[in-house]
Structure 1
Amino acid sequence: MHLLVTNCNTTAAMTEEIAAGARAAAGPGTTVTGLTPAWGPESAEGWLDSYLSAAAVLDTLRQYEGGCDAVVMAGFGEHGREGARELLGVPVVDITEAAAHLACLIGRRYAVITTLDRTRGQIEDSLHAAGVLANCAAVIGTGLGVLELGDPERTLEAFVQAAERAKEAGAEVLVLGCAGMTGLQRAVGDKLGLPVVDGVAAAVKLAESLVSLGLTTSKAGGYADPLPKRRQWGPPEQ
């Protein structure tokens, strides 16, 4: 089984970390290829970045020629998953949706611990679109930007502080609200006394399950193949 894992930004080092987390979660016989968009934001932290990222990720997926069995979209709360499901004939699993669904299976209420507070609105919208916002006790920012997550000690401290606020809000499960936090669940799970769901790992396992069950995106309605028409990707060639 071959999974594509798409980063939502152009920072290649983050793609490598995400892909490493995906490989750690994958079962025997599953290979993982990490994709970095050739253009777009270096980090996605707001509506503008998110829409730009969505177009870049879709452009990257449409040009990929290697083939795959499923795609994991590794951008928490970012746009584009519906477009990817139209574009592709294989399962597309978004880490936001995957993490929330698994969290709902192991606790009545979950909280998302994310980066900057400015991303809370789009994460809430993404959870609403996926039908899992009602179980979300809170979306809480750590105050760290995406590119600041490379400092493990600082990230852990900020996460634990945010997690205490999540527990006060009634959360029984925590969700890592950024693909750049992949791997953090191992460091904080015991310290917090709550289950911690990593979206990348959750999406990988759900993608593997869909492929193993022979299931893929329904093309009967909203995710039907795009209508044939001329589409201009990027500036016209000179």
Structure 2
Amino acid sequence: MRIVVANVNTTEAVTGVIAEQAGKVAAPGTDIVAVTPFFGPTSVEGNFESHLAAVAVMDRVRAIEEPYDAVVLAGFGEHGKEGLAELLEVPVVDITEAAAHTASLLGRRFSVVTSLSRTTGQIRDRLALIGLDSRCASVRATGLAVLELEADPARARDRLVAEAERAVREDGAEVVCLGCAGMAGLAEQVEAGAGVPVVDGVPAAVGLAESLVRQGLRTSKVGGWAAPLPKRITGWPITGP
């Protein structure tokens, strides 16, 4: 089984962290193929960057020549899942939905701890789109930008633990989701501090993608995620032949 894990930003160090965490939970025989977009922002923190990254990820995934069985979209609260689902027949799993669905199996209410406060609205919108906003107790921000998380892991851990503790104590969260792919690898430390289960969206998405592939399930091509209409699109694809 080959699973493509697509980083939404162009920072290779973040792709490396994502690949490492995906590889840790992948079952024997599962090949993780981590990819970085050919163009786009170095970090995604807002709607403009998110829409740009969505196009970049679709372009990057389209350029993969070898067959693969599923795609994980490794951007929390980001756009692009629906476009990939139209383009592909293999399962497409967004780490936002994977984390939220997993958290909903572990407790009645979950909170998300993310990077900057400007991204909380996007996360709320994504949870509403997948029908899990009512299970979300809060979306809290650490105030740290995505690249700061990678540059100073100790500070990131302390901020994450502090906000997770507040989510449990003040918001009634029973589970915490890490709201940024750049937080991959910090779940155990946050769980030790907050005292509740902590879900990292990257491992959650990889596990869910593996399960869908093993069941022989594919993306429905009837209705909302039917293949794009055959037409000429000027300038597409952007990269490659």
TM-score (norm 2): 0.96
Q: 1:233 aligns with which of 233, 236, 240?
A: 236
Report how far residue 62 of structure 1 moved. Answer: 1.3
Aligned to 2:38: 38
| Whole-angstrom CA distance in 2 between matches of 1:158 and 1:87 | 38
Pairing 1:98-177 to 2, within 5 Å after superposition: 98-150=98-150, 151-167=152-168, 168-177=170-179
| Whole-angstrom CA distance in 2 between matches of 1:235 and 1:12 | 20
For the residue of structure 2 that corresponds to 1:71, the secondary structure is strand
Aligned to 1:202: 204
| Whole-angstrom CA distance in 1 between matches of 2:163 and 2:236 | 40
For the residue of structure 2 that corresponds to 1:154, the secondary structure is helix
| Whole-angstrom CA distance in 1 between matches of 2:112 and 2:185 | 15
Report how far residue 163 of structure 1 moved. Answer: 1.0
Consecutive unaligned residues of structure 1, counting only runs of 5 or more, are: none
Q: Taking structure 1 as reference, are residues 127 and 155 closer, same or farther at Cα in structure 2, changes over 3 Å only?
A: same
Aligned to 1:19: 19
For the residue of structure 2 that corresponds to 1:66, the secondary structure is coil
| Whole-angstrom CA distance in 1 between matches of 2:185 and 2:158 | 15
Aligned to 2:190: 188
| Whole-angstrom CA distance in 1 between matches of 2:237 and 2:63 | 13
Q: How many residues align?
A: 237
For the residue of structure 2 that corresponds to 1:149, the secondary structure is helix
Question: What per-residue deviation string (whole Å, max 9, x for no partner) do you get for residues 10-67 of structure 1?
Answer: 0011101101100001111101010100101100000111000001001111111112
Report how far residue 233 of structure 1 moved. Answer: 2.5
Cα RMSD (Å): 1.4
Aligned to 1:92: 92
Aligned to 2:223: 221
Question: What per-residue deviation string (whole Å, max 9, x for no partner) do you get for residues 117-169 of structure 1?
Answer: 00000010011111111100000000000000121110011001111221111
**Residues 59, 238 of structure 2: 8 Å contact kept:** no
**Residues 165, 193 of structure 2: 8 Å contact kept:** no
| Whole-angstrom CA distance in 1 between matches of 2:189 and 2:224 | 40
- Matched residue type, 1:163: A
| Whole-angstrom CA distance in 1 between matches of 2:113 and 2:190 | 12
For the residue of structure 2 that corresponds to 1:209, the secondary structure is helix
- Matched residue type, 1:156: R
- Matched residue type, 1:143: G
- Matched residue type, 1:60: R
- Matched residue type, 1:40: G
Consecutive unaligned residues of structure 2, counting only runs of 5 or more, are: none
| Whole-angstrom CA distance in 2 between matches of 1:97 and 1:69 | 19
Aligned to 1:8: 8
| Whole-angstrom CA distance in 2 between matches of 1:119 and 1:137 | 16
Q: Percent identity?
A: 58
| Whole-angstrom CA distance in 1 between matches of 2:202 and 2:237 | 29
- Matched residue type, 2:203: A
Report how far residue 234 of structure 1 moved. Answer: 7.0
For the residue of structure 2 that corresponds to 1:200, the secondary structure is helix
**Residues 164, 190 of structure 2: 8 Å contact kept:** no
